[in-house]
A and B are shown apart, each in its own frame.
Chain A
Amino acid sequence: MSVEASPLPALLPDPSEEVQRGSSHGALRFVARRVLAGVLTLIAVSLVTFAALQLLPGNVASIVLGRAATPHAVALLDHRLHLDTPFFERFVHWMGGAVHGDFGDSTLALAQGLPNPKISSLISQPLTNTLILAGLTIALLIPLSILLGVLSAKYADRLPDHVISVLTLIFTSLPEFVVGSILILIFFSAMNLLPPVTLVPTGSSPFDHPDALIMPVATLLLTSLAWTTRLVRVGMLEVLRSDFIRAERLNGLPERRVVWRDAVRNGLAPSIQVFALSIQYLVGGVIVTETVFSYPGLGTQLVSAVLGRDVTEVQAITVIVAAAYIAINIFADLLVVYLVPKLRTAL
């Protein structure tokens, strides 16, 4: 930090001591502990998912095959899905494969006798497409919400702030499918500018059809931007009222430097967890948004697996998504500790 004007409270340990303690050992232990907790959570989440999907009512094979299935066909499918082995053995076997990227076979694809029922190959293209959609959204979300949040705090209780706060309140309230449909009504029905569905033939990338990406990204942005903007504003307001910013202004430093350099640097650390939360929130948003635009991603794949009651595929996608969800959380925690030295003393 360039500005050290705010005096450290006497309760905090001496900064020089903090550097030593915070350096290698404590920090490493903290990272290790956090990652270990994340791995344990992921195992617990996988176990709950596995139990919910495979212990609950009915026989998976007979549900998927339908009532007309012969006992022989059911037994055969049971065997292919390892449903004839004990629950915990099945779980350990599945986890062992999942660690190596092998999530077993899709129940539905097996039942229909498709040539390649491997879940890993069924979801690799949708996974890439979803990462493109989410990546683009995040890359725009962070700078835009900082810009709007800082403007809102800078003009607190004046016109720009009111406009931003009303708009963000409205968009925070709306579900993704409502925002997506409004965009379709405007840009397809009324203006005929953009396609209402994202057609990406297998083998080609969504980047080959950039106009089809605009509305899905805009939907995710509008619904999550609102939330992050509101919270960046809160953090910035606090910093802008602080003594060191007042001192800088009284010293006649240019307003642009005061706000955009010093205040932003100090006001954003608390926002990191907000961004992590909203990126986590994107997980749900992506599932719905992809469905609105028939975007060929993991979300649409998951919804059709749920509707087809493809137990093994739902399980694989759930665990992959939960892993990303947990990883984002850990990453944000570590980033905050890295950026806010004060927190390192607690390690």
Chain B
Amino acid sequence: MSSRLRFLRSPGGAIGAVILTFVLLVAFVGPFVAPYSPTAAVGEPLAGPSAHDLLGTDEIGRDVLSRVLHGGYSVVLLALAATVIAYASGLIVGLVAGYVRNWVDPVLMRGVDVLLAFPPLLFLLVLITATGTSVAALVIGVALVQAPGIARLVRTVTLEASVRGYVEAAVTRGEGTPAILRREILPNIAPALIADASLRYTFSVLLIAAANFLTIGLQPPTSDWGLMVSQNQQYIAINPWSVAAPIAMIALLTIGVNLIGDAIGRSLGRSTAGWAR
């Protein structure tokens, strides 16, 4: 097994991989095998499970199973997009602040401190109030919530790396700052960042699912697991499956990514004591 997949050897990592594979299959193959359209009314409203609708129908007669099969890829992909954007911006700020030792560092870091003083969900709520709900606002908002923490971590590991011999050697050879950051520092801080990135992705999933549940993210009639929970909750007494099914999928998704993030962190020799939440 290659060293990249070493995390799969731990029981937690292996279980997480199995769970996540199942969730990803449902999310990405589901839309092609769903019996009905996720937005079409196909039966009586709030019918219980039957041969026609295996998980029953929701309040306007849409097939719950079809909506669950269509409702997963949004959170998986949006969380990925948010994490990538957060990392791109956090990485640049952190590298610059950690390597360039002049007035830029304290200025950037005080900005980071202020943003970190916001409770994460609160910051997202403020941004959504300012821009109104949209997919772009959701993704950029979640990225903005995560970026300051990433910048701080990148700065710390960059500071550590920048005093090493190989960096001084590169400086002596006369290499430029961008080349040093890319060729000397980045490869050496990468392991720490990979472990962190997997936890950030977990957090992006949790935040986006919560935002969709609060209806400040994706909007009806989109089929999304978080949104389905909030839409169907008031009818929980009539068709509990309309809530139980998306709940189960979100639970499997978050447990799966968490187990894998935990295992990756351990396989890279990092303590999980400072769990990012």
Contact = CB atoms under 8 A, between A and B. Distances in A.
Are the chains A and B members of one assembly?
yes
Interface of A: 41-42, 44-45, 48-49, 52-53, 56-57, 63, 169-170, 172-178, 181-182, 184-185, 188-189, 196, 227, 230-231, 234, 280-281, 283-284, 287-288, 291-292, 302-303, 305-307, 309-311, 314-315, 318, 321-322, 325-326
B258 interface: yes
Nearest to A231: B273
Nearest to B261: A173
Interface stretch (B46-54, B56-64, B124-132, B188-196): B124-132
A314 B130 CA distance: 10
Contact of B129 (A53, A283, A284, A321): A53
Given A41-B113, A189-B237, A311-B129, A175 B206 contact: yes
Contacts of A227: 275, 277
Given A188-B237, A318-B126, 10 more contacts: A45-B114, A172-B258, A172-B277, A177-B230, A230-B275, A291-B213, A305-B129, A311-B129, A314-B126, A314-B129
B236 A322 contact: no
B114 A48 contact: yes
A234 B273 contact: yes
Interface of B: 12, 113-115, 117-122, 125-132, 202, 206, 209-210, 213-216, 226, 229-230, 233, 236-237, 240, 243-244, 247, 250-251, 254-255, 257-259, 262, 273, 275, 277
B276 to A, nearest CB: 11
Nearest to B273: A234
A283 B117 CA distance: 12
Q: Chain B binding site: helix, strand, loop or mixed by DSSP?
A: helix
Contacts of A231: 273
Contact of A281 (B117, B254, B277): B277
Contacts of B214: 287-288, 291, 303
Contact of B122 (A42, A234, A321): A321
A177 B129 contact: no
Contacts of B244: 185
30 contacts: A41-B113, A53-B126, A53-B129, A53-B130, A56-B131, A57-B130, A169-B259, A173-B202, A173-B251, A174-B251, A174-B254, A175-B209, A178-B229, A181-B236, A181-B243, A185-B240, A185-B243, A188-B236, A189-B240, A196-B236, A227-B277, A284-B119, A284-B210, A287-B214, A291-B213, A303-B214, A307-B216, A314-B125, A318-B125, A322-B122
